[in-house]
Every structure is written in C-alpha cells, then in structure tokens.
Structure 1
Amino acid sequence: MGHLIYAASVEYPVEDRTLAHLKVAVGMKLRRQESFFLSWTNPVERGSGRVSLWLSPAIPLIFRFSGSRTPELNETWIDVLGELSHTPRGLILITEKEAETYAAQRSAG
C-alpha cells in the first residue's frame, strides 16, 4: 500500500498499482499547468465518506510506493482518468475494472 502525500502534510493510502496510474494521469495535467479536483470515496474500513483535493502545480504532491517494482501500466485506465479530469467534477479515482467498463460503454455508444 502506497501513499499520496498532499501538501507535504496529509497522507492518503492508495494501492501501488492505482497510485502508479494516478501519478501518470495527474502528472499530465500538472505538466500543462492545469488545476483540478481529485476525488474518491473511502471504503467502510477507512471510515466511509468522500475526499476531494484541489490539485495545482503550486501544491506539492508526493507519490510514495511501498513496492520496488513499477507495475505495467494500463493505457485505457490512464486515458479514462485523464478524460474524467476534464469534467466539472474533476478527476474521480475509479478502479481499473470501472475504467475498462467506462471505455467499453463509450466505444459502444
């Protein structure tokens, strides 16, 4: 389990594979000097509720991984995260399976 560290002070646990994809999607936005919300729903074991962070090039982010191996990246997942980041709600962190379903529905309709 890795961590997304926001503003060098608050740590959010994120699975390493998810964190690797999030790092690429967020990096693409921040490289273009774009600011946006990143949001997700906490599972019951983490107290439920939702978290929304305002991400901006001016706010430090650290992606800390627990494992030493870089996972193979799923381009579809990265593309969907990037696409979601352009919506009024911002980047909603979804699972790899949800991203695959989203992409399949988008292609079909």
Structure 2
Amino acid sequence: MGKFIYEGGVKAEFEDRALTHLQLVITAKLRRGEPFPFTWREDVSIGGGRSTVWLHPGSSLVFKYYGSRQPAINRGWTEALAFTANSPGGLYLVPEPPDAGDGGAATAEMQAPVAEDG
C-alpha cells in the first residue's frame, strides 16, 4: 500500500498500482497549472466516509510507494482518471479497465503526460 500525502498532514492509502496512475494524472494537470479537487473514500478502519482536497500547482504532495518497481501503465486507466479529473466533481479513483493491449505497456518513467480533451 502506497501513501498519498497532502500538505504534510492529510494521508490516504492506495495500492501502488493505483497510486502510480493517480500520480500520472495529478502531475499532468498540475504541470499545466490546472487546479482541481481530488476525492477518495476512507477505510472503515478510520471511520469511513470520504475526503476531498483541493490540488493546485503550489500544493505540497508526496507519493510514497511500498514497492520499488514501477508498475506497467494501463493507458485506458489514465484516460479514465483524467476524464474524472476534468469533470466538475474532480478526480476520484475509478476501477481499472481491461488493458486495451496497446503493444506493450510503458513504465511510469516512460509515460508521456496524459492528453486531455477540454
């Protein structure tokens, strides 16, 4: 389980694979200077519910991974996450769709920024 840490205090746990895809979308939007809300469900072990933070280019973010390997990237998942990030409700984690088989998945290091349609 990786951790998303916002402004040094707000923390949320995600599987490393999901966190990698979230990081790709978040950093692509912030690189373009696009602020947006990010919402996630809290685990029942800490009371359940949901949290939302406002992400902006000046945000202090940490993506802390449990594992040391970069997972393969599912382009369809990054596109689905980018779609939510561009909606009025903002980014939230959606289930991973089946990989469309784009001839070999790229690693997070090699992944180009997510292209978004306005």
- Whether the 8 Å CA contact 1:2–1:13 is kept in 2: the answer is yes
- Whether the 8 Å CA contact 2:12–2:42 is kept in 1: the answer is no
In structure 2, runs of 5+ residues without a counterpart are: 99-118
- Could you report, residue by residue, the CA deviation over 1:12-63 in whole angstroms, capped at 9, with x for unpaired residues? 1111111000000101100100000001222433421011110001111010
Deviation at 1:92? 1.5
Q: If the length of structure 2 is used for normalisation, what is the TM-score?
A: 0.77
- Whether the 8 Å CA contact 1:4–1:61 is kept in 2: the answer is yes
- Whether the 8 Å CA contact 1:37–1:52 is kept in 2: the answer is yes
Distance in 1, Cα, partners of 2:69 & 2:34: 29
Distance in 2, Cα, partners of 1:9 & 1:50: 16
The SS at the match of 1:87 is coil
Aligned residues: 98
- Partner AA of 1:62 in structure 2: V
- Whether the 8 Å CA contact 1:40–1:94 is kept in 2: the answer is no
- Partner AA of 1:66 in structure 2: Y
- Could you report, residue by residue, the CA deviation over 1:46-104 in whole angstroms, capped at 9, with x for unpaired residues? 421011110001111010101000100110000010011111100122221xxx28xxx
CA RMSD of aligned residues (A): 1.4
| Range with bigger deviation, 78-87 or 7-16 | 7-16
- Pick the structure with more helix per residue: 1
Instruction: Report what 1:105 is aligned to.
Output: none
Structure 1 stretches of 4+ moved >3 Å: none
Identity fraction in percent: 40
Instruction: Report what 2:40 is aligned to.
Output: 40
In structure 1, runs of 5+ residues without a counterpart are: 102-109
